[in-house]
Amino acid sequence: MAQESFLTRVKNSLFGNQKQTEKEETKIMKIGIISGSVREGNNATAVSQWVLDFANNRNDEGVEYELVPLSDYDLPLMGAKLFEDRAEAAGAAIKAWSEKMASFDGYVFITPEYNHAVGGALKNALDYLNPEVNNKAAALVGYGSLGGARAHENMRVILGELSVASVHTTTNFSLMADFENMSVFKPNDYNKTNAEGMFNDLLLWTKALNTIR
């Protein structure tokens, strides 16, 4: 085989890197919007739909948003003993959850707040993950008496242990101000300001973290 000429090596060095950069720039960035409640009649469903609609209306070029209801995954309690007739279905749910979360470049977690912390179902679901979410970015949307702020503080600790970078700006919906009778979601327009900043941060961090994975 003939030796590669010096000029060819130079061209490959210069333009090969350029092609790689162009490929990275044209890659679709996938953001999962995780609706983190499994309770029947939960508020997370309406909040998550609002977040998805807001994200899609931004018309971010090269970004794809997908809503992922946690209730679609019948995950067993981590470490719990399962009856034989339940084990196969549980294994399939765990695998599907793992693969879905691994498919995203970044996340928006919609977090209910229970007893000053993140809901148990979401915490359990996160316990099944690790390499699937490493070195990715996440944004936090909450609702509760204080807009889910205490659940967000809890989430930052959990996500940090999973090597997920949580952006500073959050979106917080108050049960008193953004819900009618604490059950019908009617968000105030001022929430859009925080949501806009939150998504700007998330996309910036997600793009940066893509370079190290």
pLDDT at 3: 53
Residue 138 lies in a domain: yes
Whole-Å CA distances, 148 to 3, 76, 153, 171: 64, 25, 9, 9
Residue 4 lies in a domain: no
Instruction: Give residue 176's domain range.
Output: 28-210
Is the entire prediction scored with pTM above 0.85? yes
Tens digits of per-residue pLDDT, 180-207? 999 999 999 999 999 999 999 999 999 9
Helix ranges restricted to H, 58-106: 84-102
pLDDT at 109: 98
CA 89-132-110 angle, to 5 degrees, is 80
Structurally, how many domains does the chain consist of? 1
Nearest CA to 37 out of 23, 49, 25 is that of: 49
**Residue 8 — pLDDT band, cuts 50, 70, 90?**
low
Residue 107 lies in a domain: yes
- DSSP state letter for 104: -
Residue 11 lies in a domain: no
pLDDT at 5: 64
Residue 15 lies in a domain: no
Which tokens is 57 given? 């209306």
Average pLDDT over the chain reads 91
Answer whether residue 84 shows pLDDT above 90. no
Residue 20 lies in a domain: no
Tens digits of per-residue pLDDT, 87-122? 999 999 999 999 999 999 999 999 999 999 999 999
Whole-Å CA distances, 76 to 86, 159, 186: 9, 21, 33
Sign of torsion, CA 123 124 130 136?
Answer: negative
Burial class (CB in 10 A: 0-12, 13-18, 19+), 61: exposed
pLDDT at 136: 98
pLDDT at 83: 87
pLDDT at 6: 56
Residue 153 lies in a domain: yes
- DSSP state letter for 5: P
Residue 129 lies in a domain: yes
pLDDT at 103: 98
CATH number for position 122: 3.40.50.360
Answer whether residue 131 shows pLDDT above 60. yes
